Amino acid sequence: MAHGVPFVLIYLEPGDDEAHANRKLRSLWLKMHKEAFGHLCISLISVLADEARRAHFDAMGKIGEQASGIRYETAATQAEGEALAQRRIAQYGAA
**pLDDT value at residue 69:** 83
Please list, residue by residue across 9-22, b when 16 or more beta carbons sit within 10 angstroms of its beta carbon and e when fewer do. ebeeeeeeeeeeee
pLDDT in tens, 30-54: 888 888 888 899 999 999 999 999 9
CA distance 12 to 81: 9
Residue 68: which pLDDT band, with cuts at 50, 70 and 90? confident
CA 88, distance to chain mean position in Å, is 12
Looking at every residue in the chain, the average pLDDT score rounds to 88
Please list, residue by residue across 69-91, b when 16 or more beta carbons sit within 10 angstroms of its beta carbon and e when fewer do. ebebbbbeeeeebeebbeebeee
What is the reported pTM?
Answer: 0.82
Tell whether the model's pLDDT for residue 24 goes beyond 90: no
